[in-house]
Copies of this chain bind each other. A is one copy, B any other.
């Protein structure tokens, strides 16, 4: 088990059954709210999607979950307890894979070339997966 209960209670939040179930269904693969909702339904766990939204938003704030948006504009969520990495998304079937890249040089260049105080970045690749090639 991970430190999630402590993370919650240290901020005055409570560990509830819905939060436990949602956490148990999170993954290192990014998932949409609809996908998480479907997984829960299959397990006959009844949780309103509003609760899923609120829980995920809270998990993001607590650093438990990472949120990303892709082209189709829906948010996807994945466990944050992993190394910083990026995604490759198939233009045809939507399949998402992780990819590890060292973008330090690029971020350094961006900091140099911009008047902004750069804090974070998004980097995603698009193309065709093996099946769709």
Contacts and interface: CB of A to CB of B under 8 A. Distances in A.
- Count copies of this chain in the complex: 2
Contacts of A88: 110, 114, 116, 118
Interface of A: 69, 71, 73, 75, 86, 88, 90-91, 97, 99-103, 105-107, 109-110, 113-130, 133
A43 to B, nearest CB: 29
A121 B89 CA distance: 10
Nearest to A126: B120
Contacts of A99: 110, 113-114
A72 to B, nearest CB: 9
A33 B109 CA distance: 32
B101 A116 contact: no
A109 B110 CA distance: 18
B123 A123 contact: yes
Contacts of A123: 106, 121-123
A86 B110 CA distance: 10
A125 B133 contact: no
A118 B126 contact: yes
A83 B103 CA distance: 21
